Amino acid sequence: MVGRIQLDEKTKKARQRGGLWLRRLREDAGLSQRDLAKLIDIDFYTFISQVEIGKGRIPPEKYSVWSKALNVDPHEFAINIVKYYNPFLYDLLFPAGGARNKAGASAKSPLLEIHGLQDEIRELQRLLGEKTLEIARLHERLTESETETAPPPDKASTGAGQGARPRGRKKGA
């Protein structure tokens, strides 16, 4: 067939999973198909439906527009789209189980390193957020315990006792 490419089963299944992933992102962003169509500046919201069922694909020049509309990091979005739209390319770029080493390549792919580093950064950000919350709670508990154990203010510290003369009486009277 001219102009029409028959997809193998692996690619068909991957595109369907990609469509489900995109639908989840859209729903998580609280958008209808019409809302998303407006945000990405397309005339027919039915295109969104075609993409979500795996029958259509997002043009590569629109990846950043879609990622922004769906509140996803553009790099993460592009990597996932490649995984779903071109699983063979994805497997070459991001081999699982050290397939590169089996093929005789010793150097890691820069894309693989970046993707791995981003995962590590996300995990560190998550841990930092947990520790920050834990510190805030400890600080709150410390402040509460200090106010509970603090002695009540005495007259000496307020200056009302020593050397003060009673009001209303004149000196020498």
CATH number at residue 6: 1.10.260.40
pLDDT, tens digit (0-9, with 9 covering 90-100), for 66-106:
999 999 999 899 999 998 988 888 888 887 744 444 444 43
Number of domains in the chain: 2
In a domain, 158, yes or no: no
Q: Are residues 42 and 113 in the same domain?
A: no
Q: Are residues 11 and 75 in the same domain?
A: yes
pLDDT, tens digit (0-9, with 9 covering 90-100), for 133-165:
888 888 888 888 888 877 766 655 555 555 555
Confidence of residue 115 (pLDDT cuts 50, 70, 90): low
In a domain, 81, yes or no: yes
Domain that holds residue 10: 1-96
Please report the DSSP string for 115-168 in residue order: HHHHHHHHHHHHHHHHHHHHHHHHHHHHHHHHHHHSPPPPHHHHTSSTTPPPTT
In a domain, 6, yes or no: yes
User: For position 106, what pLDDT does the model report?
Assistant: 39
Closest listed residue to residue 63, CA positions, set 55, 73, 53: 73
Q: Are residues 89 and 6 in the same domain?
A: yes
Q: Are residues 128 and 68 in the same domain?
A: no
Q: Are residues 82 and 1 in the same domain?
A: yes
